[in-house]
Amino acid sequence: MNRRDVIKLMGGSTLLGSFGLSQSSVAETVRTLRAFPSTKRLVPDSSFQEANIWGFEGKVPGPELRFKKGEWVRVEFENELPEGSSIHWHGIRNLNGMDGVAGLTQPAVEPGDRFRYVFPLPDSGTYWYHSHAKTWSQVARGLYGPLIVEDPEDPEVDHDLVLMIDDWRLADDGTLEESSFGSLHDWAHAGRLGNWLTVNGESHPNIPVKQNARVRLRLINAANARVFGIALPTEGTLIAEDGFPRTHQLVNDITLAPAQRADVIWEMDSETTTFYEVRNGEPYPAFTLTPVESSEPRVAKRPLSQKPVAPPPDRIDVEIPLHMQGGAMGNLSEAVYHGKMTPIRELAQMHKKVWAFNGQVGDHHDALATLSRNQVASIEVFNDTRWEHAMHLHGHHFWIQTEQGEFLNGQRDTYLFSRGERAKLIFVADNPGLWLFHCHMLEHHEAGMAAVIEVV
């Protein structure tokens, strides 16, 4: 794909202008990302076995991809797995043909084949990439990695640490419990929850940092379904969520639903400090920062400058109702599946479908709405289930308006709905294409919680 192909894909210079980019900014360097089976010792005790994982370049997480705002990504994906796959660039306001959703924006890349992703980076922030084919098993096997987009206006720090948090379901010998993939129980309940925590693929990593350093923590939840709570030993400053800036806030803990990210500026002292996961039972050590002496100078700890935070729109052009039903202990007795009203028992036993949007079991072919470009849309969600759901919209970020009419701070691409919660996800439909809207509890997605929003 050359520069002319890219411009054609983008629909001409008008769309280039909307990204604030020029034709001459298309990168020439191509990075190769291979996906292939490998092994990884997830439990550090040598009495346990290595686990069979799938990884980009055979690693978990995959290589850190770091760019600057305004640059272009050129990645040649080579599939060396035993089944089809693809790469979704999570949180990026991407070109639709580069979004990486197998079965919607592209065919799956079959074993032995390759696909080149070429797209611009209009926004800085913390993002990530992951498989978007059979995500419920491929992501759980390790197919993900960080994507960081730097900005000249980023705060100056001594350490910029990316921390990808995951839970793994392991057998007693430390190997991946593969027999439980596809469990209907998981799909109808909270999703695939693991029993072993890692950060950057390691169990309780110890990370050296300079004494009294200013540290940027880029926290990413890469788990299939578990919501993490990370306690900070002392207050930190939350500066961004899901890549987008928010009004700075002093925080003592961070809650991350699957796929969510948070950027925190934290001031290190001279003491070894452990950060704990605290939402899932007793506090559990996630990672430790250990101060080390260094002759390198430390950054001046100037007051943090506030990046602009876009206000919510002052109008709504289209309202999109979304009634979420299903799951265990739910109130869904039947739903439309492939054009036919089907009892929930048949849906579960014959098709492993247990969730519905507006009475319809969703997949990549069900249109939730068709919007004209630049319309302001409000997805008016009612979580009428007994479970939490991390709802993710591709290609856009949204503002969140609570049932009481208040707007939460900043914009996000993934929002965690509590059971029984009502809220509006408001976005400007300024990116043409077919965009997936789904639950990022990946088993919920596969079992019916998905729909497509078309922007024309």
Q: At residue 24, does pLDDT exceed 80? A: no
pLDDT score for 323 = 98
CB 236 within 8 A of CB 179: no
Give just the sign of the alpha carbon dihedral 190, 193, 197, 199. Answer: negative
Alpha helices in 321-412 (DSSP H): 344-351
Q: Is beta strand 284-292 parallel, antiparallel or unpaired with respect to 340-343?
A: unpaired
pLDDT band for 141, please (50, 70, 90 cuts).
very high
pLDDT score for 337 = 95
pLDDT score for 413 = 98
Chain mean pLDDT for the chain: 94
Q: Tokens for 5?
A: 């192909």
pLDDT band for 330, please (50, 70, 90 cuts).
very high
Q: What's the farthest any 2 CA atoms get from each other in the chain?
A: 70
Amino acid sitting at position 165: I
List Cα–Cα distances, 334 to 28, 38, 348, in angstroms: 52, 42, 10
CB 442 within 8 A of CB 166: no
Q: At residue 23, does pLDDT exceed 60? A: no
> Element (H or E) spanning 8, and its range?
helix 3-10
Q: At residue 1, does pLDDT exceed 70? A: no
List Cα–Cα distances, 226 to 191, 192, 340, in angstroms: 8, 8, 33
The rounded percent of the chain whose pLDDT value lies above 70 is 94
CB 93 within 8 A of CB 122: yes
Alpha helices in 324-440 (DSSP H): 344-351
Q: Classify burial at 298, counting beta carbons within 10 Å of its beta carbon; exposed 0-12, middle 13-18, buried 19 or more.
A: middle
pLDDT score for 366 = 74
pLDDT band for 377, please (50, 70, 90 cuts).
very high
pLDDT band for 29, please (50, 70, 90 cuts).
confident
Amino acid sitting at position 218: R
Give the pLDDT confidence of 168-223 residue by residue, as tens digits. 999 999 999 999 999 999 999 999 999 999 999 999 999 999 999 999 999 999 99
Give the pLDDT confidence of 234-263 residue by residue, as tens digits. 999 999 999 999 999 999 999 999 999 999
Cα–Cα dist 109/93, whole Å: 22
CB 113 within 8 A of CB 87: no
CB 129 within 8 A of CB 65: yes
DSSP secondary structure code for residue 138 in this structure: H
Give just the sign of the alpha carbon dihedral 335, 341, 342, 347. Answer: negative
Q: Which residues neighbour 134 within 8 Å (Cβ) at sequence distance 6 or greater? A: 83, 85, 446
Q: Which residues neighbour 338 within 8 Å (Cβ) at sequence distance 6 or greater? A: none
Measured in degrees and rounded to the nearest 5, phi and psi for residue 398 equal -130, 155
pLDDT score for 365 = 76
Q: At residue 287, does pLDDT exceed 80? A: yes
For residues 399-411, average pLDDT: 98
Q: Is beta strand 206-210 parallel, antiparallel or unpaired with respect to 284-292?
A: parallel
Give the pLDDT confidence of 348-360 residue by residue, as tens digits. 999 999 999 999 9
User: Is the omega angle on the peptide bond into residue 61 within 30 degrees of 0, that is, cis?
Assistant: yes
pLDDT score for 27 = 52
Cα–Cα dist 412/242, whole Å: 5
Domains of the chain: 3-150 (2.60.40.420), 159-292 (2.60.40.420), 318-455 (2.60.40.420)
Q: At residue 414, does pLDDT exceed 60? A: yes
Cα–Cα dist 205/275, whole Å: 11
Q: Classify burial at 292, counting beta carbons within 10 Å of its beta carbon; exposed 0-12, middle 13-18, buried 19 or more.
A: exposed
Query: Which range, of 24-33, 115-124, 277-286, 381-390, averages the lowest pLDDT?
Result: 24-33
Give the pLDDT confidence of 65-106 residue by residue, as tens digits. 999 999 999 999 999 999 999 999 999 999 999 999 999 999
Give just the sign of the alpha carbon dihedral 436, 150, 53, 140. Answer: negative
Q: At residue 12, does pLDDT exceed 80? A: no
pLDDT score for 368 = 95
pLDDT score for 452 = 97
pLDDT score for 9 = 52
Cα–Cα dist 421/414, whole Å: 15
Q: Tokens for 308?
A: 């602009």
pLDDT score for 363 = 81
Q: What is the dihedral of CA 250, 256, 260, 262, to 10 degrees?
A: 20
pLDDT score for 299 = 93
89-117: burial string, b at 16+ Cβ within 10 Å, e else:
bbbbbbbbebbbbbebbbebbeeeeebeb
